[in-house]
Amino acid sequence: MSDGNSERKFKQVGSRPIRHDGLDKVTGRARFGADYTLPGTLQGVFVRSPHAHARILSIDTSKAEKLPGVRAVITADDFPNVPMKWIPSGPTGIDFGASSRTVMAREKVLFHGHAFAAVAAATREIAEEAGKLIEVEFEVLKPVLSIEEALAPDAPILHEGQEVQGAGDKPEGDSNITNQVLFEGGELDAGFAEADVVVEGLFETPMVHQGYIEPHACLANAREDGTIEVWASTQGAFGVKSEIASISGADPNSIKVTPTEIGGGFGGKIPVYLEPAAVLLSRKAGRPVKMTMTREEVFRGTGPTSGSRMWARIGAKADGTFVAAETRLEFESGAFRGSPVGAACMTILTPYEIPNFRIFGLEVVLNKPRVAAYRAPGAPIGAFAAESLIDELARKLNRDPVDLRLQNAIEEGGRAKYGPPFGPIGFKQTLEAVKAHPHYKQELGPNQGRGVAAGFWFNAGMQSSATVSVNDDGSAIVRTGNPDIGGSRASMALMAAEELGIDVTRVRPIVGDTDSVGYCDATGGSRVTYATGMAVIEATRQVVDHLRARAATIWNIELDSVEWQDGNAVAINGSAEKGSMSIEEIAKQNRMTGGPVVASASVNPPAAGPGFGVHVCDLEVDPETGTTRVLRYTVAQDAGKAIHPTYVEGQYQGGAAQGIGWALNEEYLWDEEGRVENAGFLDYRVPVASDLPMIDTIIVEVANPLHPYGVRGVGETPIVPPLGTVANAMRDATGVRFHRLPMSPPRVLDAIESAGDPSKD
Amino acid sequence: MAKIRVEATINGEEVEFLCVGQESLLEALRDGLGMTGTKEGCTTGDCGACSIVLDGRLVPSCLVLAAEADGRTVETIEGVAEGTKLTPVQQQFLEHGALQCGVCTPGFIVAAEKLLETNPDPTEEEARYYLAGNLCRCTGYDKIIKAVLEAAAVMRETRA
Amino acid sequence: MATVIFSTAQRRFTNDEERIEIEASRVDELIRVLYARYADLDGELEHAAVSVDGVLHNDALYVPIPPGAEIHFVGAIGGGSGDAVSEALNDRTSDPLACARAWQDSGRTVAIATVLETWGSSPCPAGSQLAIDDQGRFEGSVSGGCVESAVIESAQAVMASGVPTLLEFGVADEEAWAVGLACGGRVQIYVERVESAA
């Protein structure tokens, strides 16, 4: 459904009410995944592989089972053997066999920390003790720990017999390549022949983690009648339900999943790591089982995003017109296939009109944790390479970096590199907004530099349901199934309040479990305000029609003589003398006029209009220590229509902060055995409050015609530009072009000291 | 395994509980006493989600042994509001939208209350450095710092 | 008439043709026509997102095609959401017999597993089918996923020998969580090799 109208004057939408769940969150009452318990709950703990790559020859759990306090021990034998099968859906698709083996290793352990058994016991300590009593025979294999090693002709093969998905010439025989992507247009060689200037570079980014502060947690209770109830910290309860069913073999209709409050996800809490094991432990033990990860387990055993190697070149004419581009992206997928290399190929350089291009990417499996989605998966990585090269072009052509982008910016009707044309988009508007912002005109001092970069994300549609009902005092309840990670409940209430014409404090939004609400796809993909919001609006409009009909009944007039205005039924035309009736007055008579007023709606809309963003960063580098201080940071991004501007700004600032951390400090550090060396927040250094300045935000609104209010998803785009933005600012401050992330103090110091050779880090 | 008996004053109330030697105060609060407002983010004192005040000192409760609380006063997030009356810090967090997922919020509020108790007029930099021990992954800290500085202003105004 | 524009990857299956005009009023009709015209394209398009005049649909089979529309088949955009989950469990769009025929036509050996009878609760009723080929591809389902791999293994032997086999899965309640039907039911499955018409 779409109104496509950007002229509407909103009364509630666009305001900044206090979020409905806020009180519980500032008083510690809100319950997250680890805050639930039932009488008799046992602690469940995984036993994890000490090897990065090994065949499992035998597992003997008998001693562990005998330890007093141990109630159940499980291994892969307790799980159905789900075959590995790639189901293409999205740039990453899904493979239940791989998901199953991620939860519990079968045949092989494929990364250090890979779980191969689990124990449920009275306490965590007992369960861990029992884990040590499990006797495993491993055939240790040589691990594959880098893209280079994975691609080497004599590389150990992680999965024999796997088909390479995708395009391009496939390798012969077994290989660690699991997917290839190719987009082409125009005539590449002719394009480069036209170019007056060509920039080229090789770039590397490390594996990084989403860094959510709440570790994974769940409570599972397999009941005597075969039904299963689960409380899980998750981005999507319906997804958890399906994954539990397919991985543990349970009948999906016997499972109820309640999403708890969730302490951050960013894509990393869409896959399941605990729940199927907790369910099987619970069944075996006959007691509820709680499983929570330690921070160390989060780093070793969940789903970071890919490290990468990227080569790219861009050619332009002397007047600044881009004429040709070529890329080769290599992404780590971790232990199983499913990296975001596809999305990286779709987004890299798509913001620009480039008539001749060849975008190629591949992914390899290697002995690291299987990657999961991380906020606009793949796009920040590709943008690092593309935006760094565009910055180099701007320098070579002596052009302002914003102007060069404006000249080549894609507009409505322009073609994405993956084929289709864009609808209305706000790329040029965000570039103009940055240019006009006072930040862009600030003076810079010694050792200071400024960088600009751009990016976008598509924003998913997918399935959502909503139910809206009116209480007999005229207040309303809105029920959906999307866990609230960033304030979305408040936006649902605002949209319902807008349609009903009542104050948002009179609307209560709730997030339901899988039995209580209609199906909703996960909170992610920047889709909730767009798609679930659409379902809420549709359901509320039906409620409004019911209310009009009730008023018509009370007044004894025709339905089309009743309008709805600002929370009141208003009699019009021939019946105008009836006047108006408030929602409270109508609701009081619900029983008399036909019963409760309730309506539901469900949607599966097309992908939301893409949201473009442009960032500016000023930073200062200390030439003696290599440390970087971010002085100023501004985010301009097209939100279509900001339902709750505070939470839109929050997404801009949060995504920028993650990108800054990725650019300056974050990386997984590995030893030669494939063990993560920095599996904690002390040495995996995310930004802290003293690292960052205030982050200015500019909300651009170019209405998305696919949504009744013009909404575009905003959650993911903010993390796409920062890697390039900060790298370009570093180039400006130090004279050095960094090709490798992170630009941490030792690397910066090293680069400054060997400056004079701009092709080196 | 003989348990240790601990008597402490928690949020103004005399509380008695049992714990084992290696149990942390965080575990005792959450699992023993059902006070789940204080959160576990890392158990190594790096994230601040478990921040409490022990005998007037801001500490990460994951690094305090439960037994150490014997005879001492403990203040947690559950004791910050006075009944239904929110403090200025809590109120400003709500008004500024200084939380997205909310899991770091209890730790931040306990730490911010302590900051303003010791320094009622912090600069932005002072506030940022004081709160550097509390990690937030969602907000980028902007609205949190604004909320804290605004709360400080409100509190100075009330006192004046 | 709609214009379909093929990506580089797709052109491998269309004899390098870049675009084609097709008469179709709905996406499923369009896909059938394309498969009839380009045999190698078979199986490549159902899971793609479809752009109709720039509007990108993830689950596009029944999306109407206005006259003169421009169509692209694109990797669907999920942005970190696993929407294929329900598809895999309730695959109503797959037609195992049609797949079996297509695979056989392209020279592969094929087996069909058919649910003959069920007792108690079983996710797939009698008549459900699973087609398996000699390269490990399979389409359709005979269970909630838990006995699938045992059936596929059995099918490989059946394809090699040509001798059909009757499988029974299902356990007493206390073993309901071992490999078998976790829902507590039982199922009888017949696996046979598909012989080509002589």
Full DSSP string of A678-746: --STTTS----GGG---EEEEEE----TTSTT-----SSGGGSSHHHHHHHHHHHHHS----BS---HH
Q: Is the pair A, B in contact (3+ CB pairs within 8 Å)? A: yes
Last residue in a domain, options B79, B100, B115: B79
User: A95 CB contacts (<8 Å, ≥6 apart)?
Assistant: A84, A85, A86, A87, A336, A337, A338
Alpha-carbon separation of residue B55 from A679, B48, B52, B67, B119 (angstroms): 32, 18, 10, 14, 18
pLDDT tens digits, residue range B94-130? 999 999 999 999 999 999 999 999 999 999 999 999 9
Last residue in a domain, options B33, B51, B79: B79
Determine the pLDDT at residue A6. 52
pTM for the structure as a whole: 0.89
pLDDT band, very low/low/confident/very high, at A759 (cuts 50, 70, 90): low
3-state secondary structure of A343: helix
| Beta-carbon count within 10 A of A443 CB | 6
Determine the pLDDT at residue A87. 78
Q: Under a CB-based contact definition with an 8 Å cutoff, are residues B6 and B19 in contact?
A: yes
Residue A98 with chain C: CB contacts under 8 Å: none
Last residue in a domain, options C59, C83, C107: C83
* B93 and B51 in a common domain: no
Whether A263 and B104 lie within 8 Å, measured CB to CB: yes
pLDDT higher at C80 or A631? A631
Q: What's the total number of domains in chain B?
A: 2
Which residues on adjacent β-strands are paired with residue B57? B54
> Which of A26, A629, A719 would best serve as a mutation to test chain B binding (most B beta carbons within 10 A)?
A26
Query: Given a contact as 3+ CB pairs under 8 Å, which chains touch B?
Result: A
What is the H or E stretch that residue A135 is in? strand A135-140
State chain C's mean pLDDT as an integer.
77
- CB-based contacts of A568-574 (< 8 A; 24+ apart in sequence): A568/A501
Q: What is the CATH number of the domain that holds B122?
A: 1.10.150.120
Q: Is B16 exposed, middle or buried (0-12, 13-18, 19+ CB in 10 A)?
A: exposed
Tell me what percent of the residues of chain A surpass a pLDDT of 70: 98
* B142 and B92 in a common domain: yes
Does A246 touch chain C if contact means CB atoms closer than 8 Å? yes
* C165 and C98 in a common domain: yes
Please give the average per-residue pLDDT across A529-535, as a whole number. 95
Q: For A292, which residue in chain B has the nearest alpha carbon?
A: B40
Does A270 touch chain C if contact means CB atoms closer than 8 Å? yes
Determine the pLDDT at residue A161. 82
Query: Given a contact as 3+ CB pairs under 8 Å, which chains touch C?
Result: A
> Which of B142, B143, B148, B150 would best serve as a mutation to test chain A binding (most A beta carbons within 10 A)?
B142
**Nearest CB to A213; choose among B36, B104, B132:** B104
Tokens of C35: 């498969």
Whether C9 and A166 lie within 8 Å, measured CB to CB: yes
pLDDT tens digits, residue range C30-81? 999 998 899 888 877 877 889 999 998 888 889 999 999 999 998 643 333 3
Full DSSP string of A402-438: HHHHHHHB--TTPBPTTSPBP-S--HHHHHHHHHHSG
Does A32 touch chain C if contact means CB atoms closer than 8 Å? no
Q: Under a CB-based contact definition with an 8 Å cutoff, are residues C103 and C37 in contact?
A: no
Whether C84 and A94 lie within 8 Å, measured CB to CB: yes
> Which of A371, A418, A520, A604 would best serve as a mutation to test chain C binding (most C beta carbons within 10 A)?
A418
* C42 and C10 in a common domain: yes
* B37 and B98 in a common domain: no
Q: Is C20 exposed, middle or buried (0-12, 13-18, 19+ CB in 10 A)?
A: middle
DSSP state of B65: B
Does A418 touch chain B if contact means CB atoms closer than 8 Å? no
Whether A89 and C78 lie within 8 Å, measured CB to CB: yes
Tokens of A182: 């190719």
Whether C76 and A284 lie within 8 Å, measured CB to CB: no
Chain-centre distance of CA C29, in angstroms? Answer: 17
Does A420 touch chain C if contact means CB atoms closer than 8 Å? yes
- CB-based contacts of A408-414 (< 8 A; 24+ apart in sequence): A408/A320, A408/A321, A408/A322, A408/A352, A408/A353, A408/A354, A409/A351, A409/A352, A409/A353, A410/A350, A410/A351, A410/A352, A410/A353, A414/A353
- Which range among A480-489, A713-722, A750-759, B134-143 shows the weakest confidence by mean pLDDT? A750-759
A575 φ, ψ to 5°? -100, 10
* B21 and B74 in a common domain: yes
State chain A's mean pLDDT as an integer.
95
| Nearest CA-CA distance, residue A39 and chain B, Å | 12
Determine the pLDDT at residue C184. 57
Tell me what percent of the residues of chain B surpass a pLDDT of 70: 99
Whether B143 and A653 lie within 8 Å, measured CB to CB: yes
Q: For B83, which residue in chain A has the nearest alpha carbon?
A: A27
pLDDT tens digits, residue range C91-103? 334 568 777 876 7
User: C59 CB contacts (<8 Å, ≥6 apart)?
Assistant: A604
* B47 and B66 in a common domain: yes
Determine the pLDDT at residue C95. 67
Please give the average per-residue pLDDT across A123-127, as a whole number. 96
> In the A/C pair of chains, how many CB contacts fall below 8 A?
203
Last residue in a domain, options C31, C49, C83: C83
User: A175 CB contacts (<8 Å, ≥6 apart)?
Assistant: A155, A157, A164
Determine the pLDDT at residue C81. 32
Tokens of A190: 């002719």
Determine the pLDDT at residue C44. 77
User: C94 CB contacts (<8 Å, ≥6 apart)?
Assistant: C139, C140
Whether A26 and B94 lie within 8 Å, measured CB to CB: yes
Q: What is the CATH number of the domain that holds B58?
A: 3.10.20.30
pLDDT tens digits, residue range C105-149? 767 889 999 988 887 766 677 888 888 888 777 778 787 666 777
* C176 and C100 in a common domain: yes
Domain with C58, as residue range(s), is 2-83
| Beta-carbon count within 10 A of C157 CB | 12
Does position A147 have pLDDT exceeding 50, yes or no? yes
Closest to A476 in 3D by CA, of A454, A499, A444, A453:
A499
Whether A182 and C9 lie within 8 Å, measured CB to CB: yes
Alpha-carbon separation of residue A208 from A87, A150, A299, A417, A661 (angstroms): 26, 19, 9, 27, 10
Q: Tell me the Ramachandran region of residue A298: left when phi exceeds 0, alpha when psi lies from -120 to 50, beta otherwise.
A: alpha
Does position A460 have pLDDT exceeding 60, yes or no? yes
- CB-based contacts of C67-71 (< 8 A; 24+ apart in sequence): C67/C1, C67/C2, C68/C1, C68/C2, C68/C3, C69/C2, C69/C3, C70/A420, C70/A421, C70/C2, C70/C3, C70/C5, C71/C2, C71/C3, C71/C4, C71/C5, C71/C27, C71/C30
Whether A27 and B127 lie within 8 Å, measured CB to CB: no
* B107 and B71 in a common domain: no
Whether A689 and B46 lie within 8 Å, measured CB to CB: no
Residue B39 with chain A: CB contacts under 8 Å: 32, 34, 213-214, 263
* C97 and C75 in a common domain: no
Which of 145-184 (C) contact A at CB < 8 A? 145-150, 152, 176-177, 179, 182-184
**Nearest CB to B100; choose among A32, A292, A487:** A487
Whether A462 and C84 lie within 8 Å, measured CB to CB: no
Closest to A101 in 3D by CA, of A45, A141, A158, A152:
A158
Q: Which amino acid is at C16?
A: D
Delineate the domains of chain A, giving CATH numbers in brackets.
Answer: 22-30+461-603 (3.30.365.10), 378-459+607-753 (3.30.365.10)
Full DSSP string of A2-66: ----S-PPPSSTT--PPPTTHHHHHTT-S-BGGG---TTPEEEEEEE-S-SSEEEEEEE-HHHHH
Last residue in a domain, options C32, C48, C83: C83
Last residue in a domain, options B79, B110, B129: B79
Q: What is the CATH number of the domain that holds C70?
A: 3.10.20.30
Whether A32 and B132 lie within 8 Å, measured CB to CB: no
| Domain-located, residue C169 | yes
Determine the pLDDT at residue A171. 84
Does A39 touch chain B if contact means CB atoms closer than 8 Å? no
pLDDT tens digits, residue range C148-160? 778 888 898 999 8
| Domain-located, residue C30 | yes
A28 φ, ψ to 5°? 80, 10
* C67 and C102 in a common domain: no
| Domain-located, residue C28 | yes
Angle between helices A237-248 and A275-285 (to 10 degrees): 60
Does A486 touch chain B if contact means CB atoms closer than 8 Å? yes
Domain with B26, as residue range(s), is 4-79
* B60 and B12 in a common domain: yes
* B69 and B128 in a common domain: no
| Domain-located, residue C134 | yes
Closest to A98 in 3D by CA, of A108, A346, A580:
A108
Determine the pLDDT at residue A92. 52
Determine the pLDDT at residue C122. 62
Query: Given a contact as 3+ CB pairs under 8 Å, which chains touch A?
Result: B, C
* C127 and C67 in a common domain: no
Degrees, nearest 5: CA angle A685-A686-A687: 120
Determine the pLDDT at residue A53. 98
Tokens of A144: 């594959």
Degrees, nearest 5: CA angle A344-A349-A353: 145
Determine the pLDDT at residue A253. 93
β-strand pairing of A177-185 with A356-365: antiparallel
Q: What's the total number of domains in chain C?
A: 2
| Domain-located, residue C198 | no
pLDDT higher at B50 or A93? B50
- Which range among A269-278, A622-631, B63-72, C67-76 shows the weakest confidence by mean pLDDT? C67-76
What is the H or E stretch that residue A275 is in? helix A275-285
* B121 and B97 in a common domain: yes
Whether A525 and C80 lie within 8 Å, measured CB to CB: yes
User: A634 CB contacts (<8 Å, ≥6 apart)?
Assistant: A434, A437, A439, A440, A615, A616, A617, A695, A696, A697, A698
Does C14 touch chain A if contact means CB atoms closer than 8 Å? no
Q: Please name the residue that has the structure tokens 């097209």.
A: A638
| Domain-located, residue C88 | no
